[in-house]
Amino acid sequence: MQTTATINAPARTRSALGSLGWIWQVITGAALVPLAGLHMIAQHFMVEGGLRGFDQVQAYLSNPIVWPIELLFLASVVSHALLGVRAVLVDLGPSPRVARLLDTVLVIVGIASVAYGAWLTYAIVSAA
């Protein structure tokens, strides 16, 4: 007589942020390749000495095409990084309540970071 042992893995709750977050992390990761390349070329390789001064940054960001691209770069970096932090922390196996709290905190940190970056970009451009 042969017996079969069954091993049940602990049930994990899936959140909407988990599934959509993974897809968003893939999208932002793919977007980071051209955005980071464009940023590096424009900010470091096209400038004598490899770094723009404040006046040069103001002139660069005053271009109506450039600042939305830089803000898109910022939003992509922040969301991609925070989703990576979330993935590491969720792998530690927090309770569903802690996982929801973690999601909330990371969303707030992400929104605050992008809002601060947008405000700072506006402040630099408007100081010209």
pLDDT of residue 43: 83
The number of domains in the chain is 1
Supply 2's token pair: 């042969």
- Note down the domain range covering 62: 16-126
pLDDT of residue 48: 81
The reply to whether 4 falls in a domain is: no
Cα(74)–Cα(65) distance, integer angstroms = 15
Instruction: Give me the CATH number covering residue 55.
Output: 1.20.1300.10
Tens digit of pLDDT at every position of the chain (128 positions): 666 666 655 555 556 566 788 899 999 999 999 999 998 888 888 888 778 888 888 888 888 898 899 999 999 999 999 999 999 999 999 999 999 999 999 999 999 999 999 999 999 888 86
Supply 105's token pair: 């905190």
The reply to whether 3 falls in a domain is: no
What count of other Cβ atoms lies within 10 Å of the Cβ of residue 34?
11
Residue 65 — φ and ψ, nearest 5°?
-90, -30
pLDDT of residue 53: 83
Whole-angstrom CA distances from 57 to 43, 53, 105, 121 are 8, 6, 32, 10
Q: Strands (DSSP E) along 44-101, which ranges?
A: none
Residue 4 — φ and ψ, nearest 5°?
-115, 125
Whole-prediction pTM: 0.78
pLDDT of residue 120: 93
